[in-house]
């Protein structure tokens, strides 16, 4: 009987912990508890929810496992909130694809289908000349300044693509496509490191061709020519991905390395 009672108490404690975790999770997702802020102290949570300390601690463990909070130990400890963002979504998608042993060309193919549509939607934005084009022109200038530095040019080019899809007006597609571009950026930057070490990175002339493609794409977006923007983006992605896929044809996507995690933390 005592054992059955203890088991019942444990189940009840877990249920209460799940209820507390669910309520706190809902508040974070609704913006009631903002990113970077701290959850109330355990004493306050015990009082608010009318549950035991073990239930509260279990609720915090659940939220920490899900990535919603980081629990700091010690006298100055507490639970710091991490609201999900595009980086969170990208990392979850990336590690799922890596666990499925998806290879780099498969990721590139998905991106080559979706990113051009984002470019077209950017060209259709009524505020493109005030919001989209100025930022892309800034990135064009940065890319031009580092054409002679292969690794820096790759990073600048990837930033151009990441920012471009971030202007997609459709929120759902923005999250999905930006997650893919961030994941691809990790693969391309790793490829650039390999090619630089081999002395086989594309020549400054090849980089200038890629930069010109970016310039034409920005001009088409500025003019509001969605069809041309989509075509140019697709042609450019097909050409540039060829370099990476030829080297990484059989490589599984990297999403869990320190390079990947840093990229996703930038959102």
State the CATH number of the domain containing residue 118.
Answer: 1.20.120.530
Asked if residue 96 and residue 72 are part of one domain, the reply reads: no
Residue pair 221/215 in contact by the 8 Å Cβ criterion: no
Asked if residue 174 and residue 208 are part of one domain, the reply reads: yes
Asked if residue 218 and residue 94 are part of one domain, the reply reads: yes
Residue 226 to residue 231: CA distance in whole angstroms: 9
58 has a pLDDT exceeding 60:
yes
The count of residues in the chain is: 267
| Domain boundary residue, one of 49, 81, 113 | 81
> The whole model's pTM is what?
0.78
Asked if residue 103 and residue 41 are part of one domain, the reply reads: no
Q: What is the mean pLDDT of residues 239-262?
A: 89
Q: What is the mean pLDDT of residues 201-222?
A: 95
| Domain boundary residue, one of 34, 56, 81 | 81
Q: Name the average pLDDT for the chain.
A: 90
Asked if residue 153 and residue 225 are part of one domain, the reply reads: yes
25 has a pLDDT exceeding 50:
yes
Identify the pLDDT of residue 96.
94
Determine which of 28-42, 74-88, 104-118, 144-158 has the lowest per-residue pLDDT on average.
Answer: 74-88
Identify the pLDDT of residue 6.
45
**pLDDT-derived band at 150, boundaries 50, 70, 90:** confident
7 has a pLDDT exceeding 60:
no
Asked if residue 216 and residue 98 are part of one domain, the reply reads: yes
Identify the pLDDT of residue 124.
98
Number of structural domains found in the chain = 2
| Domain boundary residue, one of 37, 61, 81 | 81
Which domain does 43 fall in, by range? Answer: 2-81
For residue 14, CA distances in Å to 21, 55, 74, 97, 181 come to 10, 7, 25, 32, 39
Identify the pLDDT of residue 140.
97
Rounded to 5 degrees, φ, ψ at 225 are -90, 85
Asked if residue 163 and residue 66 are part of one domain, the reply reads: no
Asked if residue 112 and residue 77 are part of one domain, the reply reads: no
Q: Please tell me whether residue 41 adopts helix, strand or coil conformation.
A: coil
CA within 13 Å, CB half, 126: 0
Asked if residue 93 and residue 181 are part of one domain, the reply reads: yes
Q: Within 10 A of 195 (CB to CB), how many other CB atoms are there? A: 18
Q: Name the residue among 238, 232, 109, 243 with its Cα closest to residue 189.
A: 243
262 has a pLDDT exceeding 80:
no
Asked if residue 128 and residue 28 are part of one domain, the reply reads: no
Asked if residue 74 and residue 102 are part of one domain, the reply reads: no
**pLDDT-derived band at 8, boundaries 50, 70, 90:** very low
* Encoded tokens for 228: 């041309």
**pLDDT-derived band at 266, boundaries 50, 70, 90:** low
Asked if residue 206 and residue 164 are part of one domain, the reply reads: yes
Identify the pLDDT of residue 4.
44
Higher pLDDT, 258 or 267: 258
């Amino acid at each position: 009987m005592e054992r059955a009672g203890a088991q019942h108490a444990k189940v009840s404690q877990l249920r209460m912990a799940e209820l507390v975790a669910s309520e706190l999770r809902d508040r974070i997702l609704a913006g009631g508890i903002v990113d970077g802020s701290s959850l109330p102290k355990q004493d306050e949570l015990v009082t608010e929810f009318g549950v035991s300390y073990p239930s509260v601690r279990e609720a915090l463990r659940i939220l920490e496992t899900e990535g919603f909070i980081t629990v700091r130990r010690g006298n100055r400890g507490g639970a710091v909130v991490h609201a999900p963002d595009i980086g969170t979504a990208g990392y979850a998608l990336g590690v799922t694809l890596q666990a499925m042993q998806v290879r780099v060309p498969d990721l590139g193919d998905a991106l080559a289908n979706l990113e051009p549509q984002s470019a077209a939607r950017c060209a259709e934005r009524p505020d493109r000349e005030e919001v989209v084009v100025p930022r892309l022109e800034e990135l064009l200038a940065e890319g031009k300044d580092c054409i002679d530095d292969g690794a820096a040019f790759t990073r600048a080019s990837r930033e151009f693509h990441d920012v471009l899809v971030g202007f997609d007006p459709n929120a759902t597609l923005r999250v999905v496509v930006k997650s893919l571009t961030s994941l691809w950026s990790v693969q391309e930057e790793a490829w650039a490191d390999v090619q630089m070490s081999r002395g086989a990175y594309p020549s400054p002339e090849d980089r200038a061709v890629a930069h010109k493609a970016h310039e034409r794409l920005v001009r088409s977006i500025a003019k509001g020519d969605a069809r041309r923007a989509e075509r140019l983006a697709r042609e450019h992605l097909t050409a540039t991905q060829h370099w990476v896929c030829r080297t990484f044809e059989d490589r599984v996507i990297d999403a869990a390395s320190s390079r990947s995690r840093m990229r996703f933390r930038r959102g």
